[in-house]
Amino acid sequence: MTTSLQLISTATTNGVLEREFTLGDVHGMLWSPADVDQAPVVLLGHGGGRDSKAAPMVGRAQLLTAAGFHAVSIDAPGHGDRPCTARDERETVAMQHAMEVGEPVGPIVVPYNLHLAERAVPEWQATLDALEQLPGIAGPFGYFGLNMGTAIGIPLTAVDPRITAAVFGIFWYDETLAEHARRIKVPVEFALQWDDQHIPRQSGMALFDAFASTEKSLHANAGAHKDVPRFEADSMVRFFTRHLR
């Protein structure tokens, strides 16, 4: 992987500078307030089956740039236009099958996402290295990611001291993941759906419990797996405003 960002396209829309880039074979997006020199950066980790340009990333990037942050997202391995390995294809089929027949998806999603994290963490770290070469980007850095974005973000935050605040959630307890979480001491906000049909309440809460952070907040909202309320996006912006500004 090369260590410098290659800009693919640049556009300014409604005061937001949007830069599409590649770093080696990793595709990503960098959103910046057009009128700001130095600003903290929030890394946006997308969910499974989505990519760096998916609507939830764009929406959160809009909120973050409006609050004076850079936001950056990269395609996870096997996502977006990136090539799929045989395992990627196998796991996707298994997941879809489990969904269709109503079997638990956790036993498939958890190990697969942890496998993806092993591939994604060095990519995020290389992206941070490259971002720091850009003018106006010197940190501090925060990380946001739910679902697969949590499976990748927890080991990333555990290993990279540049990330000083993180928002996670909507993921299962797993002993390997909890081991990473126990090494995280930065402030954490963690979302959980109280009526999640895939993730048992106790499982999400056990993962939240694992963080060593002295400041950590669990936001458990009524509703099903995909019904995380929109006001949690505002809460995320305020969380990073408290910790990165």
Stretch that binds its own copies, among 21-29, 136-144, 175-183, 234-242 (CB under 8 A): 234-242
Closest CA to 123 of 156, 145, 92: 156
- What is the separation of C-alpha 235 from the centre of its chain, rounded to a whole number of angstroms? 15
- 12 lies in the site for its own copies, by CB under 8 A: no
- 164 lies in the site for its own copies, by CB under 8 A: no
Total binding residues toward its own copies, as defined by CB under 8 A: 19
- C-alpha 157/C-alpha 167 separation (Å) is 10
Closest CA to 155 of 170, 187, 182, 177: 177
Residue 33 or 187 with smaller CB distance to its own copies? 187
E strand spans, the chain = 6-13, 16-23, 26-33, 41-45, 70-74, 141-145, 163-169, 188-193, 216-221
Ramachandran assignment for 14, one of left (phi > 0), alpha (psi -120 to 50 degrees), beta (any other): left
- 63 lies in the site for its own copies, by CB under 8 A: no
Q: How far is CA 242 from CA 69, 142, 207, in A?
A: 12, 11, 23
- 242 lies in the site for its own copies, by CB under 8 A: yes
What binding mask, one character per residue, do residues 190-219 give for its own copies by CB under 8 A, x or -?
Answer: ----x-------------xx---xxxxxxx
Among 22, 92, 176, 235, binds its own copies (CB under 8 A): 235
Among 90, 97, 182, 238, binds its own copies (CB under 8 A): 238
Task: State the minimum distance, in angstroms, from the CB of residue 60 to its own copies.
Answer: 17
Residue 238 or 245 with smaller CB distance to its own copies? 238
- 66 lies in the site for its own copies, by CB under 8 A: no
Angle between helix 231-244 and helix 55-66 axes, rounded to 10 deg = 50
Among 183, 221, 225, 233, binds its own copies (CB under 8 A): 221
Residue 114 or 188 with smaller CB distance to its own copies? 188
State the DSSP code for 37: S
Query: Do 181 and 166 touch, CB atoms closer than 8 A?
Result: no
- 173 lies in the site for its own copies, by CB under 8 A: no
| Footprint of its own copies (CB under 8 A) | 194, 208-209, 213-222, 229, 231, 234-235, 238, 242
